[in-house]
Structure 1
Amino acid sequence: MLTPSEQWTWHYCPNKDRLLLNIDDSVQFTSELTGTMLNQKVVHQPFSIEEAEAFWRIQDVLQVMVSDETARLEYSLHALANRFRQLSAHKSWYFATQRQQDIGAYQLVQLQGKDLITALVIASDLECIECLLLASGESLAGKALAHCSVIRVLRNRAQLLEVDVDLARSA
């Protein structure tokens, strides 16, 4: 398992038109974020303590659902890259209305489209949550939604997934 380090650095690569995370000289994570999706063009930004703490929280939450270490790493890095994403409009009409719940970051939820899609909440505000999809699925309107994509929805479109998570690890 890779361990977060201040040696990890975020940067935008214009040649690939992607946000990248340099992990070491031979390993690089390529996010799905293109230059037009970014809120800033990152030149060289070291991985922060807050990101390391979030990385371990995400790992702990995902461990109950995702047994593959490589998949957990991929989901974690996609979730962390989201802080560089421009705020987008919510796509709440993609999903059925659920009962209102108090949902915060790093919780697992389910979104009901034509398919039931499990997601990780990676950001929240008063009205909406941003969810990293942990599986592909189809929206109510028939739109195909890919795993690892991020979607912003109103809070009443998500249902908490009840799982027992031990958050014993810290950065």
Structure 2
Amino acid sequence: MLIPSEQWTWQYCPIKDRLVLNLDDTVQFTSELTGAMLNEKVLNQPFSIAEAETFWRIQDVLQPLIANDAECLEFCFHALANRFRQLTAHKSWYFATQRQQDIGAYQLVQLQGNDQLTALVVASDLECIECLLLASGETLAGKLLAKNAVIRVLRNRAQLLEVDIDLARSA
């Protein structure tokens, strides 16, 4: 398992036109975020203690649902990269209205479109949540959303996902 390090750095790569996380001299995680999607084009920003704590929190949340370590790691990095994303308008009409719940960051939710989509909440504010999709699926409008896409929706469009957590692992 990969362990977060202060040697990791975020940077915008103009050649790839993507935000990347440099893990060492030879390994990079390339995010889906293009330069136009970024709120700032970062250069060699070190991975912080807060990001490391969030990394472990996301791992714990995803572990019961995502068995593949590489896929879980990919979701973690996409979730962490979201803080560099420009704020976008919500796309709530893509999903059915659900019962209003108190939903916070790093919880698993389901969004009901033509497909039921499982997502990780990567950011939240008073009215909306931003969800990282854990699988591809179709919205009520017939739009196909890709795995790892982040979509902003009103809070009443998401339903908390009940997942059994192995308490022995998280203790």
TM-score (norm 1): 0.97
- Helix, strand or coil: the match of 1:104? coil
Letter in 1 for 2:170: A
Q: Distance in 1 between matches of 2:50 and 2:104?
A: 17
2:60 pairs with 1:57: no
- Helix, strand or coil: the match of 2:170? coil
Structure 2 unmatched ranges of 5 or more: none
Q: Distance in 1 between matches of 2:26 and 2:43?
A: 19
Q: Distance in 1 between matches of 2:128 and 2:29?
A: 28
Q: Distance in 1 between matches of 2:111 and 2:45?
A: 33
Q: Distance in 2 between matches of 1:17 and 1:25?
A: 19
What's the counterpart of residue 142 of structure 2?
142
RMSD of the alignment, in Å? 1.0
Q: Any runs of at least 4 consecutive aligned residues in structure 1 with deviations exceeding 2 A, and if so which?
A: 164-169
Q: Distance in 1 between matches of 2:40 and 2:80?
A: 15
Aligned residue among 155, 167, 170 for 1:168 = 170
Q: Deviations over 1:99-135 (max 9, x none)?
A: 0000001100000000000000011000000000000
Instruction: Count the aligned residue pairs.
Output: 169
Deviation at 1:26, TM superposition (A): 1.3
Deviation at 1:25, TM superposition (A): 1.1
Q: Distance in 1 between matches of 2:74 and 2:163?
A: 21
Q: Distance in 2 between matches of 1:15 and 1:95?
A: 36
What's the counterpart of residue 132 of structure 2?
132
Deviation at 1:168, TM superposition (A): 3.4
Matches within 5 A, 1:1-171: 1-165=1-165, 166=167, 168=170
Q: Distance in 2 between matches of 1:104 and 1:154?
A: 12
